Structure 1
Amino acid sequence: MRMKFPANVLKAFVFAGGVAATALVPVTAAADNLSDAMIGAYKTSGLLDQNRALLRAADEDVAIAVSRLRPVIDWTITASHTYSRSINQLGTFNEFTNNDLGTQIQLTQLLYDGGETRLRKLAAQELVLAARQQLLSVEQTVLLNAVQAYVGVLQGQENVALRRNNLSLLQEELKAAQDRFEVGEVTRTDVALAQSQVAAARANLTDAEGALLTARATYLQIVGHAPGRIAGQPRLPSRAVSIDRAQSIAARNQPDLLAQQHSVKSADILVQAATKALGPNVRFRASAGLSEDVNGSTGTDSDASASVTLSQQLYAGGLNAATRRRAIASADSERGALINTQRAVRQNVSSAFFNVETARATLVSSNERVRASKVAFDGIREEATLGARTTLDVLQAEQQYLDAQTGEVNARANQAIAAYQLLQAQGLLTAEHLGLAVEIYDPALYYNLVKDAPAQYSKRGKDLDRVLKALGRN
């Protein structure tokens, strides 16, 4: 559940500092279930940190747009020295020296621009909403990577256990074949076959152990710490009862789709802004100044002025019209991208939904195959002790049993990954939806601090400096 924070800036600062501190403290506790793996990935992901910073940059674009609606005050101090020397027709030298010190303050305020600046602020706000959805998309990727890393370690451990058990059984078969050879029940060929299978089993065990080491390294890279004792198969999330229901959920929640919708809105607003930019604008200017002759010859002068100026570009070489046409083309491009995104989301949901169905059916078949091959292996092995089966029959049955068990392990792994891929396709693979025990990053927190464009030395500006310092970004 998303944690709610009051608007108090101090608490916002404490929260931001807590997030930064959590990301910096190394996690040493062993992850023993899938939730722990996803929590570790959520807390330590550099990709999430990167995209949270990009979101804060988008927040600042709103503040920049707001600032353009406010007055601009400039203060200048000027110190000047003037020296001139001339010679008239009579050969007389004239020298003039003057030292002035002056100061001026000037205020400029936009009064009217047809709404262009206000529209650009609205466009920036839409891009903020798009960036929030893009952050959720990255969060889904990070959590799915954690699922795949966890399942990869579990799959590797189970494969190693199977290979070890297989090697143990084959060593027993080799010993049995050697004993039967000594009493003349089998030939040396049977012994050689058993020895070959034992050697192959050792090599396969080595490969499985190498794959497990790779899976553990991947887990460390994604989750932020090495896996400890893995608890077992993850609990599968509930899924939509039908593909139509899954598509409906994705249409409301899929972050890539929602982000593109906001991008289209922003592009359409920028077209309106570019159109308004073709019209006139009105600005108010006021200034006051003071200057003093340092030499003391002319004393102190002061001046003040105020004016309202209407300006209209009559010709700019086609720049403004081209800018508007470019905005229209960009909006058309964003709408085209939206169509592609809509189709991709529908296709991804359909594929993920049917992959879950296929994985479930495959696991059922794999379980039946394991059961049948186990019965066959036990029977053939028993028949071999009575002389009704050869060593080759036993080895083949053992290989079929191993293949069935390996297929079952892979089918379970595929089912778990497919279930979480369906969540991602619907936009539900988030820390908040899964109820992970983490402090959910609140994207509105920073936005609420900067949306009114606080000045650097104001109270809120100083609070923002402390937040940035806590995040290690000042």
Structure 2
Amino acid sequence: MSFRGKLVASVLALAVSAFAVGGAQAQSIAQALTAAYDHAPDLKAALLNAKASAENIALAESAKRPTIGASISGNYNWSIINDNFNDGTSLTTGLSYNQTIFDNYQTEAKIEAARAGADAAEYQIRSTEQTVLLEVIQAYMAVYSGRQLVALRQENRNFYSAQLQSSRDRLDVGEGTRIDVAQAEARLAQGDAAYRAAVNSLEVSQATFQRYVGVAPQNLDASHNFARLIPNSLPTAIAEAEVGHPAIMMAKAAIRAAQATSDGAQAAFGPKATINGSVGTKATGPTKGATDGISGTIGFQITVPIYAGGSIGASVRKANIEQIKSEVDAMSAYDKIREAVISAWAGIQSADAQIQAANAAVSAGRTVVDGVIQERDLGTRTTLDVLNAQAELTSARETLINASSNKVIATFSLLAAMGHLTAADLGLNVEIKSAVRYTQAVDDVWAELRSVSE
């Protein structure tokens, strides 16, 4: 069998082997994203954090609701006077009621701040979701391109091995030199080292994939139709990002929370009115049972702060500074999102150019390798020329693999920069993780009197 026939056979064997290992069922990008969405611990933690933030609403609302308590106390008294022993018992029961009826709208400001915090935590879920899904894409393409590189470098190693055997055969018949053999041996060693490096890198990538997705990578298929979500122009992509990106929505929620906190700090200068009441019974006597009577009280209190050691003024100044900071942070968020969109957009354009150039280089490189081998066989070229031509072809093919992978990653990076790398936007077959319903239930719950479903 000719060298080219052996090379084709070895490539086919590698392809069949890879297919057998991966299994007949292709594992698409959408399937990997779906599995990762259900598996990701970071996403589950973000959901729990959002639910915990929602409880701040109930804590804030409790300040304007009544507090009711029950009490019971008893005593046993005894004494010895002039050799006379006396004893008695008393039992007191009661109910108490306290409620703030006006606090200059401090409570309303705290409630608004808590709601804004809950909204920010919900947007944090979306932000974490985008981070997780983008990491999955990067891990997916690392495995996909890694397997291609392993196959390519195995093919390259086989080529160098064949060239080494050819050099030795030519030396045996007096048509070659020991220099040709040494050069082929050196290239084979380099090819073997590159192959082993690709295998080791692939093992790491597969472990990373399993950490994110929860299952080992199978027969990956990098084709997808999510590029349809990308707009036709960069200005449109930036505009979409500025409207709905989770980071920008979080910044807006932070501004709301800071404004409400500032309002609450200002309200601390105002009056506060509370009402309170109690009712109780008392039984005394040498034995239980006799009731002395029932008593009750009701009252109100109005307080106005006059001097608090400067703490109220400091709270107002701090709240105002934090409000300004939240607005500055929002400006920074806008700038970072715009930068991310432009960077991802440029990444796609760059990858397209690299793919086009690499395709041309691969096509030309194949022709060059075939031509140089023929010229070497005719005695007009050397083995070194063949080895160099093969090295250039391999480099072009690796560039094509990397550029194709980079384009997929840049595509999903652009979706993330626009705020569209979410399970809902991608249409993944999952139950969307959200704390909205939990937050709505908490906003309407009377703490101990009603329960909140998960």
TM-score over 0.5 for the pair: yes
Distance 2:53 2:123 in 1: 12
Match of 1:153 in 2: 143
Distance 1:400 1:72 in 2: 80
Counterpart residue identity of residue 110, structure 2: R
Distance 2:446 2:277 in 1: 23
Q: How does 1:27-176 map to 2 (within 5 A)?
A: 32-82=27-77, 97-176=87-166
Distance 2:394 2:73 in 1: 89
Match of 2:371 in 1: 379
Shift of 1:254: 0.9
Moved more, 287-296 or 213-222: 287-296
Contact 1:274 1:323 in 2 (8 A): yes
Contact 2:141 2:222 in 1 (8 A): no
Counterpart residue identity of residue 447, structure 1: T
1:418 to 410, 413, 418: 410
Distance 2:252 2:34 in 1: 30
Contact 2:234 2:345 in 1 (8 A): yes
Q: Deviations over 1:104-163 (max 9, x none)?
A: 101112211121111211111111111111110000000000100110000110000001
Distance 1:294 1:184 in 2: 129
User: Is 2:430 aligned against 1:435?
Assistant: no
1:367 to 323, 335, 359: 359
Shift of 1:235: 4.5
Shift of 1:97: 4.5
Q: Deviations over 1:404-435 (max 9, x none)?
A: 10111111111111111111111110000011
2:332 to 322, 334, 340: 340
Distance 1:122 1:320 in 2: 20
1:453 to 445, 449, 453: 445
Counterpart residue identity of residue 377, structure 1: V
Counterpart residue identity of residue 131, structure 1: A
Shift of 1:300: 2.0
Match of 1:318 in 2: 310
User: Is 2:265 aligned against 1:277?
Assistant: no
Q: How does 1:106-255 map to 2 (within 5 A)?
A: 106-235=96-225, 237-238=227-228, 239-255=230-246
Contact 1:114 1:280 in 2 (8 A): yes
Stretches of structure 2 that go unaligned for 5 or more consecutive residues are 1-22
- Shift of the 29–42 alpha-carbon distance from structure 1 to 2, 3 Å rule, reads farther
Contact 1:31 1:37 in 2 (8 A): no
> Which secondary structure state, in structure 2, belongs to the residue aligned with residue 397 of structure 1?
helix
Match of 2:321 in 1: 329
Match of 2:400 in 1: 408
Moved more, 121-130 or 139-148: 121-130
Distance 1:165 1:346 in 2: 43
Counterpart residue identity of residue 148, structure 2: E
Distance 1:301 1:373 in 2: 107
Moved more, 158-167 or 342-351: 342-351
Contact 1:117 1:273 in 2 (8 A): yes
2:253 to 255, 262, 271: 262
Contact 2:281 2:291 in 1 (8 A): no
Distance 1:228 1:160 in 2: 16
Q: Deviations over 1:258-282 (max 9, x none)?
A: 1011111111111111111211111
Stretches of structure 1 that go unaligned for 5 or more consecutive residues are 1-27, 87-91, 468-474
Q: Deviations over 1:298-345 (max 9, x none)?
A: 842321111122112222212222222221122122122112111111
Distance 2:216 2:285 in 1: 74
Counterpart residue identity of residue 112, structure 1: F
Moved more, 261-270 or 348-357: 348-357
Contact 1:84 1:96 in 2 (8 A): yes
1:305 to 280, 297, 318: 297
> Which secondary structure state, in structure 2, belongs to the residue aligned with residue 155 of structure 1?
helix
Distance 1:348 1:121 in 2: 34
Distance 1:30 1:400 in 2: 35
Shift of 1:442: 3.3
Instruction: Tell me the TM-score normalized by structure 1.
Output: 0.86
Distance 1:97 1:335 in 2: 71
Please identify runs of 4+ aligned residues in structure 1 that moved more than 6 A. 28-31, 92-96
Shift of 1:172: 1.5
Contact 1:271 1:331 in 2 (8 A): yes
- Shift of the 250–94 alpha-carbon distance from structure 1 to 2, 3 Å rule, reads farther
Instruction: Tell me the TM-score normalized by structure 2.
Output: 0.90
Counterpart residue identity of residue 302, structure 1: I
Contact 1:83 1:98 in 2 (8 A): yes
